Structure 1
Amino acid sequence: MAGRAASPISPAAPPPSPRFDMPEPIPDLPLRVRFGPGFELKTADDEFNLQFHNLVQLDGRFYQQAHQTPVSDTFVVPRQWLIFSGHLTKPYEYYISISEAFDTFNILDVFLNINYDN
């Protein structure tokens, strides 16, 4: 490499700072889990709550003699409702209901209730 100048060496990267400009980590919240009615996750202080319900219709048609034309075995979910409810903090309650069918997706109910007096 005669006649060529060496490329300058870049300065070393600064060492990582022990101080970050980030908020404090959120402490782990112990959860209570309950099944029935629905599936429920709740914090120990009852500040946060999530309850999940699933209403589903299943349709299975199975035939004894295989490989018949035009008959074939089927298994479908023609209707399913997903329902979420609970509270984000004690004054804020929510409810969301979603319906799913063969080729449709509908939001049935959504509301947020704010309890000022509690």
Structure 2
Amino acid sequence: MGASQRPAVATMAEPAPAAPKKPHVWQDVPAQASDLAPLTPARAVAVEPVVPAVPVAFARLEAADAAPAAPAPRGRVDLNTASVAELNGLGGGMIGRAIVAGRPYRSAEDLLAKRVLNRATFAQIKGQIGTQ
């Protein structure tokens, strides 16, 4: 490159003056001498514990669409046609919605293959379920 072909060099501009910082809220409020005095028994305020006037009872919340568990049916329950209440009544807990969501099943073992139930729950209900 020749002297006439040199790239132009940018000059650095002066930095803009920094804007004055706004003081924090705590800096705007002047402290009073009483605020800075150490806490003494004369300045201490007695606080009573808060106890509710009415005893609070916590109830177990159930899903709004969950039907009460039906008694266990006599024969095998078909996984592909049984209602949520029938499936919940098998004794494995509230498993009906999960089973219905995973339909269709070719065999009862699909509950494990599709990871709908864990092995302990499956072992508990496997004698009561089947497919057609």
TM-score, with length taken from structure 2: 0.24
Instruction: Point out the structure with max Rg over C-alpha.
Output: 2
Higher strand share: 1
Q: TM-score, normalised by structure 1?
A: 0.26
